[in-house]
């Protein structure tokens, strides 16, 4: 009897011990679960506060075209900065497309196809585009292709012709080359710059101009016919409203630096700005030397009294040669000058600023 009572007592104690252990395990599990939840909440909030690539919470990225502070930055015109960057792959694709048409001699089918491509590209960017037809020195009818970026700010501040800047280059070639560097490279830079500048607010209009007939093959060597035609059509008020012309001719060759300059016939302000910005970017360049400094479309504007600067090649061994092919153009070289020009367009001092 006593033994049976003791046995029941032992079983009750064992049962209490099991219950105590189960309570301990459950309590411990609950504490651990609460600790894990708290950790997850903390980590989640920390993650949300941390920079994330590809979102508006990421660290500031370097934007091509953002103004670099300098000793003269206080005199420059402010402009809104857009997120679009100069895309060297897009620019190189334009070079590839233009060279695929073959030599783009003034008035040839290939040059006309190139003009159609340029017009379509600028139209797709959202610009109003017009073609200025004229007779080239070889007697053929050719066209300059012109896109116009209007400035609301410029038009609200004047009742006359709004101030304007032009960026351009020629798209024709001599007969024996597809002209990858001379001048599909410059044409590509103008097109890509037009794309990234579309939504940038500026205090002046911008005209993107691709010229025919810079390369003339007539006995009189009456070159730069396209730019001469354009400048010749400008009225006095338009000339006086011009803040300058930026020329881009042969800028894809990676084995030599850029050339920056003009013929020293007048205003040097754009040359000085270009040199300053190239120096800030640590680009390799020479001043007032190279083919496109002596011989290119900027001369037409310079002789008419407008400020000009031409960007080109410091040297190029395949000038007007069959070897001026796609492999001579480097995407990085296009990006270097394209980023400089897109930034420069935002910093040209506007009239009355």
| CA distances for 103 relative to 5, 108, 183, 216, 352, angstroms | 114, 9, 11, 13, 45
According to the model, what pLDDT value does residue 343 have? 94
Domain assignment of residue 340, yes or no = yes
Q: Are 146 and 207 in contact (CB under 8 A)?
A: yes
| Whether residue 162 sits in one domain with residue 98 | yes
**Backbone torsions φ then ψ of 286, nearest 5 degrees:** -125, 160
Angle between helices 185-196 and 88-100 (to 10 degrees): 130
According to the model, what pLDDT value does residue 34 have? 61
| Whether residue 102 sits in one domain with residue 231 | yes
Q: Does the pLDDT at position 80 exceed 50?
A: no
Query: Pairing relation of β-strands 242-248 and 308-313?
Result: parallel
Range of the domain at 29: 1-59
How many domains does the chain divide into?
Answer: 2
| Whether residue 53 sits in one domain with residue 79 | no
Mean pLDDT, the chain, rounded, equals 81
pLDDT: which is higher, 80 or 298: 298
| Whether residue 80 sits in one domain with residue 10 | no
Sheet holding 285-287, edge to edge: 129-135, 141-149, 205-211, 164-170, 242-248, 308-313, 258-261, 285-287
Domain assignment of residue 349, yes or no = no
| Whether residue 18 sits in one domain with residue 142 | no
Domain assignment of residue 241, yes or no = yes
Tokens representing 67? Answer: 């103004």
Domain assignment of residue 124, yes or no = yes
d(CA 149, CA 131): 15
Rounded to an integer, the average pLDDT of 190-218 is: 92
Tens-place pLDDT, residues 209-261: 999 999 975 445 556 899 999 999 999 999 999 999 999 999 999 999 999 99
Angle between helices 109-124 and 185-196 (to 10 degrees): 20
pLDDT-based confidence at residue 112 (cuts at 50, 70, 90): very high
d(CA 193, CA 342): 6
d(CA 179, CA 181): 6
Domain assignment of residue 66, yes or no = no
pLDDT-based confidence at residue 153 (cuts at 50, 70, 90): confident
Q: What is the pTM for the complete model shown? A: 0.76
């Amino acid at each position: 009897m006593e033994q049976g009572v003791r046995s029941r007592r032992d079983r009750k104690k064992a049962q209490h011990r099991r219950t105590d252990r189960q309570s301990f395990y459950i309590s411990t599990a609950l504490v651990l679960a609460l600790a894990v939840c708290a950790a997850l909440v903390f980590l989640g909030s920390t993650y949300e506060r941390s920079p994330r690539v590809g979102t508006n919470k990421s660290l500031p990225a370097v934007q091509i075209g953002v103004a670099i502070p300098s000793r003269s930055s206080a005199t420059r015109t402010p402009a809104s900065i857009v997120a679009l960057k100069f895309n060297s792959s897009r620019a190189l694709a334009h070079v590839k497309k233009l060279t695929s048409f073959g030599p783009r001699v003034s008035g040839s089918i290939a040059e006309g196809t190139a003009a159609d491509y340029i017009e379509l590209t600028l139209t797709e960017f959202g610009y109003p585009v017009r073609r200025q037809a004229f007779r080239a020195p070889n007697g053929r009818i050719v066209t300059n292709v012109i896109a116009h970026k209007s400035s609301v700010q410029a038009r609200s501040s004047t009742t006359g012709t709004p101030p304007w800047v032009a960026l351009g280059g020629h798209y024709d070639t001599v007969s024996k080359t597809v002209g990858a560097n001379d001048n599909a490279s410059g044409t590509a830079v103008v097109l890509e710059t037009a794309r990234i500048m579309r939504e940038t607010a500026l205090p002046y209009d911008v005209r993107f101009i691709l010229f025919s007939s810079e390369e003339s093959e007539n006995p009189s060597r009456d070159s730069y016919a396209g730019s001469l035609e354009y400048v010749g059509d400008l009225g006095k008020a338009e000339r006086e409203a011009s803040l300058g012309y930026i020329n881009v001719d042969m800028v894809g060759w990676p084995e030599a630096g850029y050339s920056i300059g003009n013929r020293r016939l007048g205003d040097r302000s754009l040359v000085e700005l270009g040199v300053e910005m190239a120096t800030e970017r640590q680009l390799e360049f020479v001043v007032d030397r190279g083919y496109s400094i002596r011989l290119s479309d900027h001369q037409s504007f310079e002789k008419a009294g407008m400020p000009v600067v031409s960007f080109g090649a410091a040297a190029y061994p395949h000038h007007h040669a069959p070897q001026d092919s796609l492999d001579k153009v480097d995407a990085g070289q296009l990006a270097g000058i394209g980023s400089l020009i897109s930034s420069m367009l935002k910093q040209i001092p506007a009239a009355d600023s």
